[in-house]
């Protein structure tokens, strides 16, 4: 994994020194761009993927706090490292509200800068793992709910949970099939398997996930096909 850096400082010597004379590749980073003030930095961020922003706090046009605020509001996975002098350190601390990853006193050195960047990398990795786990949990709970729809009568509690998953079934018909391919031939694809039902249901399956198919029609009818991974036996709910 390569982390993209943006270096922001109105002092050309500092900006070029951090961007060009640090062995960023040694810690899995590369400089995606540089900016001389906050406005230029924000314009760059609007059009370029960036993982970590290293920015001075006091700059013309827009300062480091403006950059931190923009990142906080628009790029929650991007981390900010603020470079600050002794005189404006208390001012820099107001950036805590923008979830700044770290503060480094100027003049900085390679050891402190690399340490802060590595810390930001770990935070990004942890955040991505958490997001991945959350998505897996969401998928499991959604599939579990769809299975419950076939096990008993529809209820207000089920309706509320469906709304949470953005699967409103205001009108629906449920039919159960068990399909066993001839001589265990499972070489055909899932869409081919369900193609005979398309005429009955008025529309082909338009979107698929790994385990489930969903198709909404006129916001009134929802057909669901939920398959298990244990082919050749297949459970289908329409």
Please provide the distance, in angstroms rounded to a whole number, between the alpha carbons at the two ends of the chain.
42
Distance, in Å, from the CA atom of 189 to the CA atom of 191, rounded to the nearest integer, reads 6
Mean pLDDT over 200-219 rounds to: 39
Q: Do residues 113 and 155 both lie within one domain?
A: no
What pLDDT sits at residue 215?
A: 36
For the entire predicted model, the pTM comes to: 0.59
- Determine, yes or no, domain membership for 183: yes
Q: Do residues 67 and 166 both lie within one domain?
A: no
- Determine, yes or no, domain membership for 137: no
Q: What is the DSSP string of 116-183?
A: HHHHHHHHHHHHHHHHHHHHHHHHHHHHHHHHHTTTS---HHHHHHHHHTT---SB----EEEE--GG
Q: Do residues 23 and 93 both lie within one domain?
A: yes
- Determine, yes or no, domain membership for 134: no
What pLDDT sits at residue 22?
A: 94
Distance, in Å, from the CA atom of 41 to the CA atom of 53, rounded to the nearest integer, reads 9
The total of other beta-carbon atoms located within 10 Å of residue 124's CB is: 17
Q: Do residues 84 and 189 both lie within one domain?
A: no
User: What pLDDT, in 10s, does the model give residues 104-122?
Assistant: 988 889 999 999 999 999 9
- Residues ≥6 apart with Cβ < 8 Å to 117: 3, 5, 27, 29, 52, 54, 81
Residue 26 has pLDDT above 70, yes or no: yes
Q: Do residues 90 and 15 both lie within one domain?
A: yes
What pLDDT sits at residue 81?
A: 96
Q: Do residues 107 and 166 both lie within one domain?
A: no
More confident site: 226 or 20: 20
The mean of the pLDDT values for the chain is 75
Q: Do residues 121 and 154 both lie within one domain?
A: no
Q: Do residues 41 and 113 both lie within one domain?
A: yes
Residue that terminates a domain, selected from 126, 158, 185: 126
Q: Do residues 101 and 37 both lie within one domain?
A: yes
Expressed as residue numbers, the domain containing 181 is 149-237
Residue that terminates a domain, selected from 126, 141, 162: 126
- Determine, yes or no, domain membership for 131: no
User: What pLDDT, in 10s, does the model give residues 140-163?
Assistant: 777 777 777 766 777 777 777 777
Q: Pick left, alpha or beta for residue 199 (phi over 0 → left; psi -120 to 50 → alpha; otherwise beta).
A: alpha
User: What pLDDT, in 10s, does the model give residues 31-84?
Assistant: 999 999 999 999 999 999 999 999 999 898 899 999 999 999 999 999 999 998
Q: Do residues 194 and 99 both lie within one domain?
A: no
- Determine, yes or no, domain membership for 37: yes
- Determine, yes or no, domain membership for 223: yes
What pLDDT sits at residue 142?
A: 73
Q: Which CATH number characterizes residue 48's domain?
A: 3.40.50.2300
Q: Do residues 160 and 67 both lie within one domain?
A: no
Is residue 230 very low, low, confident or very high in pLDDT (cuts 50, 70, 90)? very low
Q: Do residues 55 and 100 both lie within one domain?
A: yes
Residue 132 has pLDDT above 80, yes or no: no
């Amino acid at each position: 994994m390569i982390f993209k850096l943006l270096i922001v400082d109105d002092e050309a010597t500092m900006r070029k020194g951090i961007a060009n004379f640090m062995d960023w590749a040694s810690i899995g980073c590369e400089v995606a761009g540089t900016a001389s003030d906050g406005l230029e930095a924000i314009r760059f961020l609007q059009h370029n993927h960036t993982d970590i922003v290293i920015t001075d706090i006091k700059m013309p046009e827009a300062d480091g706090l403006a950059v931190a605020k923009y990142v906080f509001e628009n790029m929650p996975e991007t981390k900010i490292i603020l470079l600050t002098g002794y005189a404006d350190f208390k001012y820099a601390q107001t950036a805590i509200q923008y979830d700044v990853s770290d503060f480094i006193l100027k003049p900085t050195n390679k050891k402190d800068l690399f340490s802060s960047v590595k810390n930001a990398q770990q935070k990004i990795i942890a955040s991505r793992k958490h997001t991945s786990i959350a998505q897996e949990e969401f998928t499991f709970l959604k599939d579990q709910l769809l299975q419950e729809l076939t096990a008993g009568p529809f209820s207000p509690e089920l309706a509320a949970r469906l709304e949470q998953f953005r699967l409103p079934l205001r009108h629906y018909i449920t039919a159960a099939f068990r399909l066993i391919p001839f001589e265990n031939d499972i070489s055909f694809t899932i869409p081919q398997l369900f193609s005979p039902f398309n005429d009955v249901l008025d529309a082909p399956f338009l979107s698929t996930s790994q385990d489930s198919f969903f198709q909404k029609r006129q916001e009134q009818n929802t057909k669901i096909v939920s398959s298990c991974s244990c082919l050749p036996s297949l459970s289908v709910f329409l």
